[in-house]
């Protein structure tokens, strides 16, 4: 596979530093929300120290809420244990330019125990790496891509915050799905981020208008599952920072407005074995020619969706997206090239793959891809058969099982899942159950605009 443009070796970085082209190296990892945390290194010091030894960060970063408040009740890190350090270990295969930032490069890190150097099991990247290793031990190489959607607004992030994120002006004023003229009006931003991603080790395929006002989709080239999750996280950071510098804003909320389409993260996934697509085969199944591995992977993925839903839909807002006739799936079913299905099978032969349309654009990519792999691999291991193919409007199929309807419901399914414990470990289930329960509790205490509008005068 050709090395993407913008990827760097340590020697190449050293040359760019010596010529003054790179002055800063961002050393970072993702927290449970999927946000990047880390440090900015002087490039010379990164070369002489950071690359070989990494750095430390406070372990509370894996236990804070959205406002960076330490949340009590975690076993991993708490006041009783004094909030010590974790080690950030640079994965030098992720070293790349960050062309949207001045004279900058970045490297992603794994999180490790400072005393034992063992991987921290609850860190999102660690969770995905273990599932990729499981696949490889079975002789498979997982290939994946994330299709992300987002909304663009003419308001800056600061202005949006000052206005309570309401009454914002979308960059488009009518539905722009595949619309070239309306899309041209957004090219100042979209062309810039396509260019930056391509030059920063994230190969771009295309971008297009979507169903909402000011909504767009930008697709990047598929890769192995871990590299794809890395690309996904970098993609979001790039778009946010480019928007910020342009004085506009972008959101990856799953459902920004009740009257607008939700934003998804469709995950495409296949397995290769000995360099060939392990999903292709001669078995006729639901009109698809496929292998047993394909059938069982699909069966496992569907079977375990509800109990791992928190990894696909991690916020209160995520569940507002699952509405009939909204382009978001509502029921657990599969079909061939049918956008009402939660699992849409596409391609033939070498291109045969499964598209899961359930995750929202707000998902943490490491957790979403880990859930997909764990489910599908279990399907292969236990020969889980998928339900029969469904043809027609799945929104109207009331007999099919519905996806979990709230974060509260999804969290309790995850908390009680023996499969999740077997796949990720009891410590991971305990940690993320507490994480999502805290999110639910925080919302339960909040007073919303909807409540004020409904009850202020008329109750």
Tokens coding 165: 């994120």
In angstroms, the first-to-last Cα distance of the chain is 64
Distance from C-alpha of 299 to C-alpha of 288, rounded to nearest angstrom: 14
Torsional class of 183: left (φ above 0), alpha (ψ -120 to 50), beta (otherwise): alpha
Tokens coding 441: 């509790």
Instruction: Find, among 86, 16, 111, the residue nearest to 25 by Cα.
Output: 16
**Residue 356 and residue 373 in contact, taking contact as beta carbons nearer than 8 Å:** no
CATH topology of domain 133-454: Creatine Kinase; Chain A, domain 2 (3.30.590)
- Residue 307: the pLDDT is 98
3-state secondary structure 306-375: HHHHHHHCCCCHHHHHCCCCCCCCCECCEEECCCCCCEEEECCHHHCEEEECCCECCCCHHHHHHHHHHH
351, exposed or middle or buried, with CB in 10 Å at 0-12, 13-18, 19+?
exposed
Q: Where are the alpha helices (DSSP H) in 215-327?
A: 225-246, 292-303, 309-312
Strand-pairing partners, residue 143, are 224, 270
Distance from C-alpha of 108 to C-alpha of 95, rounded to nearest angstrom: 7
**Mean pLDDT by 10-residue block, N- to C-terminus, for the chain (459 residues)?**
91 98 98 98 97 96 96 95 96 98 98 96 98 97 97 97 94 87 90 98 95 94 97 98 98 95 96 96 88 97 98 98 88 89 92 96 98 98 95 87 96 98 98 98 95 92
Q: How many residues make up the chain in this entry?
A: 459
Instruction: Find, among 211, 219, 223, the residue nearest to 194 by Cα.
Output: 219
Distance from C-alpha of 357 to C-alpha of 327, rounded to nearest angstrom: 9
Q: Which H or E run contains 134?
A: helix 124-137
- Residue 162: the pLDDT is 95
Could you list the beta-strand ranges (E) of 91-245.
96-97, 104-113, 141-153, 204-209, 215-220, 223-224
**Residue 253 and residue 317 in contact, taking contact as beta carbons nearer than 8 Å:** yes
Distance from C-alpha of 37 to C-alpha of 26, rounded to nearest angstrom: 10
Residues whose CB falls within 8 Å of the CB of residue 68, separated by 6 or more in sequence, listed in order: none
Tokens coding 219: 């697709």
> What single-letter DSSP state applies at residue 102?
T
**Residue 79 and residue 72 in contact, taking contact as beta carbons nearer than 8 Å:** yes
Q: Which residue has the tokens 């192995």?
A: 224
Q: Where are the domains of the chain?
A: 10-120, 133-454
Instruction: Find, among 417, 436, 2, 23, the residue nearest to 198 by Cα.
Output: 2
> What single-letter DSSP state applies at residue 282?
S
Task: Answer positive or negative: Cα dihedral of 376, 381, 387, 391.
Answer: positive
| 10-120: CATH, from 3.40.800.20, 3.40.50.720, 3.10.20.70, 3.20.20.70 | 3.10.20.70
């Amino acid at each position: 596979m050709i090395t993407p443009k913008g990827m760097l070796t340590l020697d190449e970085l050293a040359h760019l530093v010596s010529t003054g082209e790179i002055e800063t190296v961002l050393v970072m990892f993702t927290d449970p929300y999927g946000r990047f945390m880390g440090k900015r290194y002087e490039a010379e010091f990164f070369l002489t120290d950071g690359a070989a030894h990494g750095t430390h960060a406070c372990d509370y970063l894996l236990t804070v809420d959205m406002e960076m408040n330490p949340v009590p009740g975690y076993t991993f890190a708490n006041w009783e244990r004094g909030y010590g350090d974790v080690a950030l270990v640079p994965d030098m295969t992720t070293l790349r330019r960050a062309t949207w930032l001045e004279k900058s490069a970045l490297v992603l890190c794994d999180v490790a125990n400072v005393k034992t150097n063992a991987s921290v099991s609850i860190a999102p990247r660690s969770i995905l790496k273990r599932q990729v290793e499981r696949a490889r031990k079975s002789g498979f190489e997982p290939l994946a891509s994330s299709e992300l959607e987002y909304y663009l607004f003419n308001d800056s992030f600061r202005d949006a915050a000052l206005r309570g994120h309401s009454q914002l002006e979308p960059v488009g004023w009518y539905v722009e799905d595949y619309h070239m003229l309306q899309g041209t009006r957004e090219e100042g931003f979209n062309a810039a981020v396509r260019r930056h991603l391509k030059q920063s080790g994230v190969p771009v395929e295309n971008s297009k208008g979507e169903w909402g006002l000011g909504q767009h989709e930008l697709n990047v080239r598929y890769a192995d599952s871990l590299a794809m999750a890395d690309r996904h996280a970098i993609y979001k950071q790039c778009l946010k920072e480019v928007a910020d510098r342009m004085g506009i804003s972008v959101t990856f909320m799953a459902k920004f407005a009740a009257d607008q389409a939700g934003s998804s993260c469709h995950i495409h996934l296949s397995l290769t074995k000995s360099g060939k697509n392990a999903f292709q085969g001669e078995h006729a199944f639901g009109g698809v020619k496929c292998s047993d591995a394909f059938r069982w992977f699909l069966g496992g993925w569907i079977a375990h969706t509800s109990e791992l839903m928190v990894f696909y839909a991690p916020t209160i807002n995520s569940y507002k997206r699952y509405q009939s006739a909204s382009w978001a799936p509502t029921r657990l079913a599969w079909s061939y090239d049918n956008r009402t299905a939660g699992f849409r099978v596409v391609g033939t032969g070498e291109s045969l793959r499964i598209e899961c349309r359930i995750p929202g654009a707000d998902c943490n990519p490491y957790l979403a891809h880990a859930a997909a792999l764990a489910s599908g691999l279990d399907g292969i291991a236990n020969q889980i058969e998928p339900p029969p193919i469904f043809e027609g409007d799945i929104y109207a199929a009331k007999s099919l099982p519905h996806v979990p309807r709230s974060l509260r419901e999804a969290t309790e399914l995850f908390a009680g899942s023996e499969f999740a414990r077997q796949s990720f470990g009891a410590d991971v289930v305990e940690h993320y159950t507490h994480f999502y329960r805290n999110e639910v509790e925080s919302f339960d205490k909040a007073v919303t605009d909807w409540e004020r509008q409904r009850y202020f005068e008329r109750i």
